[in-house]
Amino acid sequence: MVQADRAQVDQYKLNLAHCRITTPISGRVGLRQVDAGNYVQPSDTNGIVVITRMRPTSVIFSLPEDALPAVLKRLHSTQKLPVSAYDRNRSTVLETGYLRTIDNQIDTATGTIKLRAHFANQQDMLYPNQFVNINLLVNTLRGIAIVPSSAIQNGSIGPYAYIVNADHTVSVRTLKTGPVNGEYTSVRAGLTPGEQVVIDGADRLREGTKIAIAPAQPA
């Protein structure tokens, strides 16, 4: 009889244990799908709540297929390529991580290839289905000049810019441009650091045109 009573006690303990719902994975719970008093069944498709794993997380982004050789070269020569996730305005870094893997085929419709970046996401700054801008650091160019992209003109002579001379006249200078990063373009040849270039009104200029330099904007 004592053993039978103990069995009943164990059965009640088991029933109480099943009254507590635990999640099999760690993550962030969303808004509840049911309210107190609702009748819940195992066959319900929506469940009680949706749990999303936040740490770590990954971001899938695309690159032009022309950029793939440079990425593969650096990926094979170094252990990890750093990746930064920016907000929609590219003004705030949400999270930093590294390149995890590259897709095995190029999308012929867009001429791009998909890449996956890995982020620890300890502060939960990245959410599922969130739009972010990805910066993938492939190489660092040192000792070169950069100019605002608006200064670069394209014509029959190739990329060129209007250089401001000491007497406030302009001269046409052909350039050999490099990678573009946001609103700036690197110049591999044709420009010396410290030279001034025209960034506004270039369509009204000719060789030797006299210009007026606008005053600097207050900080």
DSSP class of 89? T
Cα–Cα nearest to 133, from 201, 69, 89, 86: 86
Which amino acid, 99?
A: L
Say how far apart CA 69 and CA 212 lie, in whole Å. Answer: 44
Determine the longest span between alpha carbons in the chain, in angstroms.
111
Cα–Cα nearest to 210, from 172, 173, 170, 163: 170
Q: Are 156 and 150 in contact (CB under 8 A)?
A: no
Q: Mind listing the pLDDT tens digit of every residue in the chain (219 residues)?
A: 999 999 999 999 888 887 777 788 888 989 998 888 888 887 888 888 889 999 999 999 999 999 999 999 998 887 789 999 999 998 899 999 999 999 999 999 999 999 999 999 999 999 999 999 999 999 888 888 899 999 999 988 899 999 999 888 999 999 999 888 778 899 989 888 888 899 888 888 888 888 888 777 665
* pLDDT on residue 168: 87
pTM passes above 0.75: no
Cα–Cα nearest to 171, from 212, 211, 207: 207
The tokens for 202 are 């270039």
Look up the CATH architecture of domain 57-136.
Beta Barrel (2.40)
CATH fold, domain 145-204, is 2.40.420
The tokens for 149 are 């992209």
Q: Structural domain boundaries of the chain? A: 57-136, 145-204
CA-based end-to-end distance of the chain? 88
Say how far apart CA 6 and CA 83 lie, in whole Å. Answer: 59
Strand partners, 181: 184
Site of tokens 């990329």: 159
What lies within 8 Å, CB to CB, of 123 at 6+ separation is 95
